[in-house]
Amino acid sequence: MGVTTAAPSPKVLVHSVLPARSHPETERLVTESDAWIRRTTRPCFRDDAGMEKFLAGRIAELCCAMLPGLPYPAMRPMCDLFQYIVVIDDAFGDSGWVGGSVHASRQVVAQIMAAVTGWDSVPDTAAPARDAVERLRPHLTEARWRRFVVDFEDMLDGYLLEVATRGADGLTDLGSYAERRRVTVAMKWFLTVAELGHDRPLSGETAADPELRALREVVLDHLWLTNDLYSCAKERRDGEYISLIPLLQRLEGRSHQDCVEWIAGRVAEQESLFLDRAAALSHGRLATDPGLPGYLDNLTHTMSGPLNWSPGTRRYQVPGDPHATR
């Protein structure tokens, strides 16, 4: 088993057939969003080096690969909010900083939600959330905005749970772990914004349809499984190690490589399930909604984006780590 400095290739592990492309304004969006990160989020980092290390991961590029058809006016604040949330997730993962205290983390969550909802003044660490959301909200209907807030808060509550139960030994079974990761990694609020489609948004009635909700669950599982497939070495290096791999090793006695292959198999299963259900929806009773094709395209790329971005990002590259294996 060879040692590599990069995460496993999706072509080797998953054999994905999902289409992949990036937003036509990707370079502009990455440049502008990275400048926004430097301008607004410095208080969220320990030092300048930490901020530059974060930016080297090109998180905004991932966002552009996940929503390549979203119009630029909505995509611009979306890139900023997406990057900010990853900054906060990293801070909560730092047990030597805010992530070392449940009480401190709970205060940060309260400040962020105050920023998102526009309630009261907020500290510099939460102000970026208010800035991004104030620019994103005009693109959402009132009903869509309410769902966005609930799902956004749900994700932050999941972050708190991970702070409180840090480490693989705090996890007891695969079902509970999967339920948590659907919230903390998969970001339901992201799929709500994806309803904006391309040039026509998804109707509220279609968005609430049980068949489409079931399809979103498939996407959520694909997202967190893909994350755990590629981020394990990075989380081990950073002392987090909230990952399916150590859980499978502990509960089932699997080798690291066996865990990698098992997760890759589950990713492939979710992809096949998504393609079958999306095809059925495209020819079913919801096909009359002109916003459905754009939404399904956004969901497709929300899955293919991380699958293609993860192997090349510096964020997941840990030179010499034996856990970054093919």
Alpha-carbon span 197 to 70, nearest angstrom: 6
| Average pLDDT value for residue range 293-303 | 98
- pLDDT for residue 166: 75
Considering the domain boundaries, does residue 11 fall inside one?
no
The CA distances from residue 272 to 27, 175, 177, in Å, are: 31, 21, 22
Residue 91 CB partners (closer than 8 Å, separation 6+): 44, 97, 98, 99, 108
Each residue of 196-231: pLDDT tens digit? 999 899 999 999 999 999 999 999 999 999 999 998
Each residue of 33-56: pLDDT tens digit? 999 999 999 999 999 999 999 999
**2 phi and psi angles, rounded to 5 deg:** -80, 155
Asked whether the predicted pLDDT for residue 325 surpasses 50, the reply is no
Alpha-carbon span 129 to 126, nearest angstrom: 6
Each residue of 108-149: pLDDT tens digit? 999 999 999 999 899 999 999 999 999 999 999 999 999 999
Question: What is the chain's mean pLDDT, rounded?
Answer: 91
CATH number of the domain to which 210 belongs: 1.10.600.10
Considering the domain boundaries, does residue 234 fall inside one?
yes
Asked whether the predicted pLDDT for residue 171 surpasses 70, the reply is no
Considering the domain boundaries, does residue 2 fall inside one?
no
Considering the domain boundaries, does residue 128 fall inside one?
yes
Each residue of 238-256: pLDDT tens digit? 665 578 998 899 899 999 9
Considering the domain boundaries, does residue 311 fall inside one?
yes
Instruction: Tell whether pTM > 0.95.
Output: no
Q: Report whether 24 contacts 44 (CB < 8 A).
A: no
Alpha-carbon span 38 to 115, nearest angstrom: 19
Considering the domain boundaries, does residue 8 fall inside one?
no
H-helix segments, 208-316: 210-238, 244-252, 256-282, 292-309
| Average pLDDT value for residue range 172-193 | 88
How many domains does the chain contain in total? 1
Considering the domain boundaries, does residue 151 fall inside one?
yes
Calculate the CA dihedral of residues 225, 187, 124, 65 and round it to 10 degrees: 80
- pLDDT for residue 323: 58
Considering the domain boundaries, does residue 6 fall inside one?
no
Range of the domain at 205: 26-315
